[in-house]
């Protein structure tokens, strides 16, 4: 089995695509009306308009209702991401912080309220 992607359902696809493109610098592939994918090393982030879920999987997912999963992105320079996203007006939950296990971590929320962790690992 291969873990292929994480899909986030939204009522505002364009806003979410813009957020994740600004966060990562990765472009979104538009595979269908209301659906985009962003391909990262090791995983794909799929973004789906809620109307597609209602059309094909009625009741299976609700936009902007996540309160348990955290999307995590490993980067080289957490501070640079903090500066970029802070200037963009992102909802910063926790500014860049050194965690007890050595990671530098930044927590923010995407426009739908999903928690996003940006982190770098300590030099080995």
Residue 35 has pLDDT above 90, yes or no: yes
Q: pTM of the prediction? A: 0.91
CATH number assigned to the domain comprising residue 86: 3.10.180.10
pLDDT of residue 102: 95
What gap in Å lies between CA 8 and CA 36, rounded to an integer? 10
d(CA 87, CA 114): 19
The pLDDT value given to residue 86:
97
pLDDT range class, residue 115, cuts 50, 70, 90: very high
Q: What percent of the chain has pLDDT over 70?
A: 99
Residues 9, 45 share a domain: yes
Q: Note whether residue 64 is domain-resident.
A: no
Same domain, 45 and 79: no
* Residue 124: pLDDT over 80: no
pLDDT at position 95: 97
User: What was the pLDDT predicted at 42?
Assistant: 87
Whether residue 93 sits in one domain with residue 113: yes
> Which residues constitute the domain of residue 84?
69-124
Task: Look at residues 59, 77, 108 and tell me which one is the last residue of a structural domain.
Answer: 59
Number of domains the chain contains: 2
Same-domain status, 25 and 53? yes
Q: What is the pLDDT of residues 94-111, one digit of tens each?
A: 999 999 999 999 999 999
Q: What is the pLDDT of residues 36-89, one digit of tens each?
A: 999 999 899 999 999 998 888 888 888 999 889 999 999 999 999 999 999 999
């Amino acid at each position: 089995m291969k873990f292929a992607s994480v899909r986030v359902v939204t009522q505002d696809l364009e806003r979410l695509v813009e957020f994740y493109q600004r966060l990562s610098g990765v472009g979104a592939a538009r595979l269908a009306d209301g659906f985009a994918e962003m391909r990262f090393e090791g995983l794909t982030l799929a973004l789906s308009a809620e109307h597609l879920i209602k059309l094909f999987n009625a009741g299976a997912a609700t936009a902007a209702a996540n309160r348990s999963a955290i999307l995590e992105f490993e980067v080289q320079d957490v501070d640079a991401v903090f500066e970029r996203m802070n200037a963009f007006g992102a909802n910063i939950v926790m500014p860049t912080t050194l965690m007890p296990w050595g990671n530098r971590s930044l927590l923010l929320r995407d426009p739908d309220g999903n928690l996003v962790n940006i982190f770098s690992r300590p030099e080995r």
